[in-house]
Every structure is written in C-alpha cells, then in structure tokens.
Amino acid sequence: MEKTIIKDTLNRPLRDLRISVIDRCNLRCQYCMPADKFGPDFEFLPKSALLTYEEIERVSKIFVKLGVEKIRLTGGEPLLRRDMPILVKKLSEIDGLRDIGLTTNGILLEKYALDLKNAGLKRVNVSLDSLNDELFGKINGRNIGTKPVLDGIKKAREVGLGVKINMVVKRGLNDSEIIPMAEYCKNNGLQLRFIEFMDVGSTNGWKMDDVITKKQIYDMLKEHYELEALDPAYFGEVAKLYRYKDTDVDVGFISSVSESFCSSCTRARLSANGQIFTCLFNGNGHDIRNVMRNGATDEQLAERISGIWGDRNDRYSDERTAEANLNRKKIEMSYIGG
C-alpha cells in the first residue's frame, strides 16, 4: 500500500497509533483511576459515544495510509469491550500495518488470549505493579491478588503472544518491589518496563517527590545485575533498553519525567469517544467521530488528520515545570490509555 508520510512542526513522523476502545476499567489503580475519583456514581461514556468497531477500522486504515505502522489497543481496560477479537481481526487485515498490540491489566487475559492470538494480535503489555498480593490489592483498589494476572501472562505466552510487563513505580508505595519484579521477569524470560510515575490527568495526585527516576531504578538494579546498554531498535522507541549480561532478557525504562523523549515521539492517540490527541499530556482533543458520522469522505478525514498532525508542536515533558503541571489542561489516562 502506498503511504503518504506526514510530519509535524518538529519534523516528527506519524508512526504509532494508540486506540482507547473503552473508558471503563475493572480496577482502580491509584495512578490512573483512583477509587475516590472514579466511584460508583462516576458517569462513564454511554455506548453511543464510543467509536464502533467499523469506525475504528475506517479511521485506522486512514492513519496507516498516512504513515502509521503500529497500533496499540488500550483503555480503560480494553478487554472489557465486548468481542475484542473481532476488532483485532479487522485491524490485523489492514494492508501496511506491521504490528498490533494490546495493553491490559491482565485480569481477563487468560480467558481471551487464544482468541486474540487467533485474530491476529501480536503482543500484550501487562500492567503489574507488585508481586505482593496485599500490596497489589492496595494499588489496584479492588483487593485483587496477582494470581489472575500471572495466569493471564502464562496463557498469553502459551498461545504465542509476545509479553511485556509494565510496572509503574511510585516512591513510598511500591519501590520496594523493584528488585523482586526484576528478578521474577529475568528468571522467567519476560521483558520488563519500569515506568516513572507520570503527571497524566488531574486525579492521581501527582507530585515530583513521588517519582522514582530512571537513574535511581537503574542504580538499584546495578547493585544486583550487570546491565549492557542496547541501541534503540527504531526511531521513536520509547523505552531505554538494557540487557542482563549473558542472557537474552532485556529490561527497559519509560522515563518521560526525568529523561524526556519528546524529540522522537511518533505517537497519536485516539480516545474511546473519537478524539485525536497528539500528546499524552495534552488535554485538547480534535474530534473525528462526529466528522465521520456527519458524512465526511475518507479523503476529508485524511486531510483533517494530516492537518492535526502537521500543526503538532507538543513538547510537554521537555517543558515540564510545576507551574505548567498545575495550569495545563489534561485528559485522564482512562480516556486515551498509556
């Protein structure tokens, strides 16, 4: 398929699309959907506001023609959306799309892993912030232990899905789990990504003092393991990667707070209700759902998406200050994924 490569004002190409398929989640993790903010009376999006699978397929095809090579399905918790393998199948058949993955909390992964693999899913990123059942239950706000997540990881590997583990680290909460998680993933041949606690949205009570930086985590690991730095596999790779010496297991860091990667960011985000966001930290979305539903042609949609990306100048992590964090309008992570 012939592609039209588009770039933003800082010469960053559009390569990755992250699609939130639902704003609901079955957990209430403190850094994403804290229970005191997302309580029983919280009003989630009605079904009519969500993009249909056909709409997601249509806009994804246009994104691919404009340069997107990888799609990641997110939420909320994407496996709460009914018949997810149907969507995966539709997307996996798009000409020119090289990779399709899914980020999940893993609770429902054991149930759906085989169907997702058969539909064309390549890999999953599983959020797991502690191996300690009590602490994990505290973090996820539902007192759910690690067993369903670990069972989901096991099943995903059995059916042939690639698996990465995402661990968000918050000072004073789960920093004691850094080494146990590294040891578990190393011993089981799992790729681990440590993620700095980020100031996404306005409900997670983010403070810089709560951040354990990439360097601090790296220094902890160096006390236990020999690490060898790896070169980025492609332009726009988010994680800074290392390999445990004399193994084929790597560990990475998502350091958007302490070592930003804005200059190589190639990701657009599509929210569950059809808003395009050009930065995880930018609360100003661009409507595409109503444009579609009002009869726009594919050419008109492509022109709109090209214009949105072409005007992009986001550099939030480069420019992060306490004042900016307080004053900037932000979208909650549950609407646009991680």
Report the percent of the chain where pLDDT is more than 70.
94
What dotted CATH number matches 16-333? 3.20.20.70
Phi/psi of residue 12, nearest 5 degrees: -95, 125
Q: What pLDDT is attached to residue 328?
A: 62
Instruction: Name the phi and psi angles at 218, rounded to 5.
Output: -55, -45
Task: Report the alpha-carbon distance of residue 225 to residue 183 in Å, rounded.
Answer: 10
- pLDDT at residue 18, rounded to an integer: 97
Token pair, residue 289, equals 């759902």
> Per-domain residue ranges for the chain?
16-333
C-alpha 337/C-alpha 22 separation (Å) is 9
| CA atoms within 13 A of residue 70's CA, in its CB half-sphere | 15
**SS3 letters for the chain?**
CCCCCCECCCCCECCEEEEECCCCCCCCCCCCCCCCCCCCCCCCCCHHHCCCHHHHHHHHHHHHHCCCCEEEEECCCHHHCCCHHHHHHHHHCCCCCCEEEEEECCCCHHHHHHHHHHHCCCEEEEECCCCCHHHHHHHHCCCCCCHHHHHHHHHHHHCCCEEEEEEEEECCCCHHHHHHHHHHHHHCCCEEEEEECCCCCCCCCCCHHHECCHHHHHHHHHCCCCEEECCCCCCCCCCEEEEECCCCCEEEEECCCCCCCHHHCCEEEECCCCEEECCCCCCCCEECHHHHHCCCCHHHHHHHHHHHHHCCCCCHHHHCCHHHHHHCCCCCHHHHCC
Q: Which residues of the chain have pLDDT under 50?
A: 322-323, 326
The predicted-structure confidence for 163-207, as pLDDT tens digits, reads as follows 999 999 999 999 999 999 999 999 999 999 999 998 766 666 678
Which strands sit side by side in the sheet containing 70-74, from one edge to the other? 227-229, 240-244, 250-254, 191-196, 162-169, 123-127, 99-104, 70-74, 16-20, 267-270, 275-277, 286-287
The pLDDT score that the predictor gives to residue 319 is 80
